[in-house]
Homo-oligomer: A and B are copies of this chain.
Amino acid sequence: MGKKKISDAVIRRLPKYYRYLGDLLENGINRVSSNDLSKMTGFTASQIRQDLNNFGGFGQQGYGYDAMNLREEINKILGLNQKFRVVIVGAGNIGQAVANYAGFYEEGFEVLALFDKNPKLIGLRIRDIEIKDLDDLPGYLDDNEIDMGVICTPKAVSQDVADILTSHGIKAIWNFAPTDIKVDDDVAIEHVRMNESLYTLAYYYKQKNDTEE
């Protein structure tokens, strides 16, 4: 409604707070100041307070933040307090990596099926999840309530897969294919840009080694 738009930069810092708060709790630490978080995350204390105050006053003057409470608040802000029913399309190394990743399940992301068109893979099970024939994807989406699709296919077919997913009601797409995918405005999409990351690394490597100022 009248809420001011939160910038993307803020949202992308929240997972980092969330992770460090989890680390603190694992170590039995329950009290944390913006200054503590600053040391951990590398963001300024001022920025951290600004970020959090976009969503509410979670701290207490003179004390700081309760780590568990703050973590739960961020959990809610990010929408991690719901279950996500997930299908993975493309059951190669990356698809399998996602299916196998335990941290995924801990936050409520439940992988229900993988799809591939490789006959050698169809029928196999990853973590007890069956790899199904890609041709069965539309029917599967019609018969099951799925929230999120993970695209782990080669780039040549990633847009087609996205089209199948969205035309069958999927509103969240996590894309590992090295390409941009176009979706309607009501679909959330995130790209894991491995190539971009690698090339950026190459650049900074070069900076540090070529031009030892």
Contacts and interface: CB of A to CB of B under 8 A. Distances in A.
How many copies of the polypeptide does the oligomer hold? 2
A162 interface: no
Main secondary structure on A side of the interface with B: helix
A195 B80 CA distance: 12
Interface string A198-213: 1111111111111101
A190 B186 contact: no
A79 B178 contact: no
A212 B205 CA distance: 44
Contacts of A28: none
Interface-centre pick from A79, A92, A109 (highest chain B CB count, 10 A): A79
Contact of A84 (B189, B194, B202): B202
Interface stretch (A45-53, A59-67, A93-101, A113-121): A93-101
A7 interface: no
Given A78-B202, A80-B202, A178-B103, A208 B186 contact: yes
Contact of A15 (B186, B196, B207, B213): B196
Interface of A: 1, 11-12, 14-16, 18-19, 77-80, 82, 84, 92-94, 96-97, 100-101, 103-104, 107, 109, 147-148, 171-174, 178-179, 186-211, 213
6 closest cross-chain pairs (CB), A and B = A79-B206, A93-B97, A190-B201, A188-B204, A172-B205, A15-B199
